Chain A
Amino acid sequence: MADNNSNQNAANKKIKNAGFRKGLDIFLFLLPAILLFVGILIAPIAVSLYRSFQKWDGFQPGVFIGIKNYRDLFFSGSVHFVPALKNALIIAFFSVFVQLPFSLLLALLLGRKYKGERFFLTVYFMPVLISTVVIGQLWLKIYNPDYGILNRVLGAVGLSNWQHIWVGDPKTALGAVVVPTIWQYIGYHMLLMYAGVKGVSSDLREAAMLDGATNWQVDRYVVIPVIKPIIRTSVIFAVTGSLKSYDLVRIITNAGPTHKTEVPSTLLEDMLFLRNKYGMGSTISVMLIILCFAFALAITAIFKEKGE
């Protein structure tokens, strides 16, 4: 009896040890990822959140000022956040209503097995791979008022009164950023949607065809409903990507002329380097996270409602 008991104890101990060992192993396997993820993303966000309630120059201890930063963000003219957000939303608007429909059109067309389908796909995707800095520099050359191709073409076809200092004119500067942004990522969204179009079973397609549907009707009533989740993902990427836009703005217009093409991220950078407003910079970071998540949730909700 006593013997039996001690055996059981030993066995229990063994199981406990094994459990502990397993837990330790799991912890060790996760450790590098958790260190990176928490150290670089989660902890800084927590710090940003904390600092966003402070007036802080980055060196002196911060002074707690409640939600003043958030209020200033939206109601103080000197911060320029509202115009910056508006610019980002304009980029988002064109992404969703110009870029994505065109991407969808290309994906649907390529999904119809035209000759050269792979070639077109490969070419259309190419700009996605190129650094936005390179793309920005190239477009700067295209926009160049004296030697740029755009003004030359306009001159050659007799529209020289349309010639413009594209990047320097407050009226066209934002457009000069929007066009390359949209152009570069059409291929990206097209690729995602194309993968979805290819995933539509050919039985479904054939059945619709046999019922007398035209290609367009098949796309409209069979393919698009099936790839809806991908379209949703694309919309989310397009909107959050626009909110985060930075590279092309920095390169093409450098947020000018006179802050006309400022976006939240360039503003954030200015708060650090030009204005020493680290508290306000943190507030902009936090606001960007909130906006990205809010838009992602809202878009998901809209798609759900439409689906029912």
Chain B
Amino acid sequence: MQLEERYTIKKSNPVVKVLVYILLVIWAFINIFPIYFMFTFSFKSNEEIFGANVIGLPHKWLWSNYVSAMNTGNMGRYFVNSVLVTTISIFISLAAAMMATYALTRIKWWGAGITNAFFMLGLTIPLQASIVPIYVLLSKLHWLSHYSTLIVPYSAFTLSMSILICTGFMVDIPYDLDEAARIDGCGLWATFGRIIVPLLKPAYATIGIYAFLQCWNEFMFANVFISDAEHRTLPVGIKALSGAYTTDWGPIGAALVIATFPTLIVYIFLCRKIQDSFIAGAVKG
């Protein structure tokens, strides 16, 4: 330990170290600045944004920007829509993934490997692949612009990743537990419901975080499939709002903050967990 210490000190050049710190700090600034800029201009009037006070804190904190984003801009509605669509999609994806993973990892049968590989195809397939047929089908059924128009595809698109993450967690549960449950007279379903589902709690968070970000931020399907204001999610709502408020920056800033703060607040509290869920998703795939 001491030896390593001595060698490390000997090898690291203080000038390099300072330069590295400067680089790290500059890059941190470049990452924080746009978010800082967004927060501050969401409270400013056009006069401040355009001239008097471009990057400082607001002289006058204009909550009215938020009021107009919520009322005229309808952001409240879009927020609720996003919450609804995202929550239900996560729930469906998680339930379907847990069931499928159970069948693929804890029941011994001939097709488990190939079925798993089949689901993993979904990790590479671009969303764009299915957009035309789904759009045509939904428009023929007059089913565009419903919540389910987004919920079903979102559940499907997050499914592969959910199964992948679920598999990682499920193989870590000792198989003795299944056997013990079997001996006590539990069937497959009872074992699943009473043993596996409760033990998978840590997986809920990882999958939930991943699916949340996918669905909350999804733009292409929402933009193509939702044409009425009533069912817009936040990303589409922001696009519409920015079209309506081309000259008034404050309310747009407020809308951007409304769409972003849930994510950032969750991130502040769960940053480790969120980072881990991204690593789990990518490194195993």
A interface, CB within 8 angstroms of B:
22-23, 25-26, 29-34, 36-37, 39-41, 43-45, 47-48, 51, 58, 106, 109-110, 114, 116, 119-135, 137-142, 146-147, 149, 152, 183, 187-188, 191-192, 195-196, 206, 209-210, 214-215, 230, 233, 237, 240, 243-244, 246-247, 250-251, 264-265, 268-269, 272-273, 278, 281-282, 284-286, 288-289, 292-293, 296
Q: Does B202 count as interface, using CB distance less than 8 angstroms?
A: no
Q: A129 near B274 (CB under 8 angstroms)?
A: yes
Q: B282 near A192 (CB under 8 angstroms)?
A: yes
17 further A-B pairs in the complex, CB-CB below 8 A; given A124-B27, A149-B54: A25-B107, A33-B159, A37-B156, A44-B130, A47-B132, A114-B21, A125-B275, A126-B32, A130-B260, A131-B238, A141-B249, A147-B54, A183-B30, A244-B128, A247-B220, A268-B132, A285-B132
Contacts of A44 in B (CB 8 A): 129-134
Between B27, B119, B238, the greatest number of chain A beta carbons within 10 A of the residue's beta carbon is seen for B27
Q: In whole angstroms, how far apart are the Cα atoms of A44 and B130 in the complex?
A: 5
B 20-48 binary contact with A (CB < 8 Å = 1; else 0)? 11011001101110110110010000000
Contacts of B41 in A (CB 8 A): 141
Q: A134 near B54 (CB under 8 angstroms)?
A: no
Q: A22 near B109 (CB under 8 angstroms)?
A: yes
Between B37, B126, B235, B256, the greatest number of chain A beta carbons within 10 A of the residue's beta carbon is seen for B126
Q: B235 near A133 (CB under 8 angstroms)?
A: yes
Q: B219 near A30 (CB under 8 angstroms)?
A: no
Whether A40 touches B153, Cβ cut-off 8 Å, given contacts A114-B21, A244-B128, is yes
Between A109, A129, A292, the greatest number of chain B beta carbons within 10 A of the residue's beta carbon is seen for A129
Q: How far is the CB of A191 from chain B (nearest CB, A)?
A: 6
Q: A40 near B99 (CB under 8 angstroms)?
A: no
Contacts of B74 in A (CB 8 A): none
- Chain B contact residues: over half helix, strand or loop, or mixed? helix
Q: How far is the CB of B79 from chain A (nearest CB, A)?
A: 13
Contacts of A133 in B (CB 8 A): 217, 219, 234-235, 238-239, 259
Q: A129 near B252 (CB under 8 angstroms)?
A: no
Q: How far is the CB of A68 from chain B (nearest CB, A)?
A: 17
**17 A-B contacts, Cβ less than 8 Å apart?**
A29-B107, A36-B159, A40-B152, A45-B129, A48-B130, A48-B133, A125-B275, A126-B264, A131-B259, A139-B34, A188-B278, A192-B278, A246-B219, A251-B239, A272-B135, A285-B130, A289-B126
Q: A131 near B234 (CB under 8 angstroms)?
A: yes
Whether A288 touches B124, Cβ cut-off 8 Å, given contacts A29-B99, A133-B235, is no
Contacts of A296 in B (CB 8 A): 124
Between B128, B135, B153, B192, the greatest number of chain A beta carbons within 10 A of the residue's beta carbon is seen for B128
Q: Which residue of chain A has the shortest Cβ distance to B252 in the bound complex?
A: A137
Q: How far is the CB of A20 from chain B (nearest CB, A)?
A: 13
Q: B124 near A134 (CB under 8 angstroms)?
A: no
> What 5 A-B pairs come out closest when comparing CB atoms?
A44-B130, A40-B156, A33-B100, A29-B103, A131-B217
Contact residues, B69-112 vs A (CB, 8 A): 92, 95-97, 99-100, 102-104, 107, 109
Q: Which residue of chain A has the shortest Cβ distance to B135 in the bound complex?
A: A272
Whether A209 touches B131, Cβ cut-off 8 Å, given contacts A134-B238, A138-B256, A233-B282, is no
Size of the B side of the interface (Cβ < 8 Å), in residues, is: 94
Contacts of A25 in B (CB 8 A): 103, 107, 187-189
Q: In whole angstroms, how far apart are the Cα atoms of A116 and B282 in the complex?
A: 25
Q: B134 near A40 (CB under 8 angstroms)?
A: yes
Q: How far is the CB of B266 from chain A (nearest CB, A)?
A: 9
Q: A45 near B125 (CB under 8 angstroms)?
A: yes
Contacts of A196 in B (CB 8 A): 283
Whether A265 touches B278, Cβ cut-off 8 Å, given contacts A124-B31, A137-B252, A195-B283, is no
Of the residues A40, A58, A268, contact of B136 by C-beta under 8 Å: A58
Q: How far is the CB of A223 from chain B (nearest CB, A)?
A: 15
Q: In whole angstroms, how far apart are the Cα atoms of A264 and B132 in the complex?
A: 14
Of the residues A32, A114, A128, A237, contact of B96 by C-beta under 8 Å: A32
Q: B3 near A210 (CB under 8 angstroms)?
A: yes
Q: Which residue of chain B has the shortest Cβ distance to A265 in the bound complex?
A: B128
Q: Which residue of chain A has the shortest Cβ distance to B4 in the bound complex?
A: A206
Q: Which of the 9-residue segments B6-14, B60-68, B167-175 touches chain A?
A: B6-14
Contacts of B180 in A (CB 8 A): none
Contacts of A32 in B (CB 8 A): 92, 95-96, 99-100
